[in-house]
Amino acid sequence: MLEPKPDAADQSSRWYAAYTMPRHEKMVAAQLGMRELETYLPLYRTVHHWNRREAEVDLPLFPGYVFVNMPIAHRVRVLEQPGVVRLVGTNGRAIPLPEGEIERLRSSLAFCKAEPYPFMTAGRKVRIKSGPMAGFEGKILRRKGKLRLVVSLEMISCSVVLELDSGCAQLAN
């Protein structure tokens, strides 16, 4: 029996979030890269203490997730990868991330230091109008002269806190 031909919408590449097993993000990103799929795994540097020693380590900014750019018709190439649990979506259907979200995240992380933050649903939302973070919505926290912005990715229920110079962005309610 012949499979139906995928339509043109199935052939356009979009960004999807792949949910991984705990602490498998780097391995999954590397393996998908070897399968010639574009991935994005933002990392942050932190210090861990082991046996009275300190070591700097790079950890995933969004623990448990690797972002993959692919046509949805290639989802099996991702799902058959050891360490991948599923693609984020509803009712068994993978849902692409909003258009331009990964590009905005990539460009903003080039200018700002970021670290994970507990996911926030309550609080006042603000939108950044200009600067490298333009277009992101989040909640603002102030800390000793530094401006801290908590950005939440609703689809994967994760948040990160970004440290910005106070003049880096203009905010609007």
- 137-162 pLDDT, tens digit each: 777 776 555 667 777 777 788 888 87
What is the mean predicted confidence (pLDDT) over 101-127? 77
The pTM of the full predicted model, rounded to 2 decimals, is 0.72
| Strands (E) located in 21-88 | 38-40, 43-50, 53-60, 65-70, 84-87
What is the amino acid identity at position 17? A
Distance between CA atoms of residues 127 and 173, nearest Å: 7
Instruction: Classify domain 101-172 by CATH number.
Output: 2.30.30
Considering only 29-38, 75-84, 120-129, 136-145, which range has the smallest mean pLDDT?
Answer: 120-129
- Whether the predicted pLDDT of 116 surpasses 90: no
Residue with tokens 């309610």: 173
CA dihedral sign, ordered 130, 133, 138, 142: negative
Asked whether 25 and 60 are in contact (CB, 8 A), the reply is yes
Considering only 23-27, 83-87, 96-100, which range has the smallest mean pLDDT?
Answer: 96-100
**Residue 1 pLDDT level (bands cut at 50, 70, 90):** very low
Residue with tokens 């360490």: 83
Which range scores top for mean pLDDT: 6-15, 38-47, 99-108? 38-47
- Whether the predicted pLDDT of 54 surpasses 80: yes
Please check whether the domain covering 8-94 is classified as CATH 3.40.50.620: no
- 55-74 pLDDT, tens digit each: 999 999 999 999 999 999 99
Domain ranges in the chain with CATH number 3.30.70.940: 8-94
Predicted confidence at residue 126, as pLDDT, reads 67
Asked whether 156 and 94 are in contact (CB, 8 A), the reply is no
Domain ranges in the chain with CATH number 2.30.30: 101-172
Predicted confidence at residue 109, as pLDDT, reads 87
The count of other CB atoms within 10 Å of the CB of residue 73 is: 14
> CA angle, 44 as apex, 39 and 48 as ends, to 5°?
130
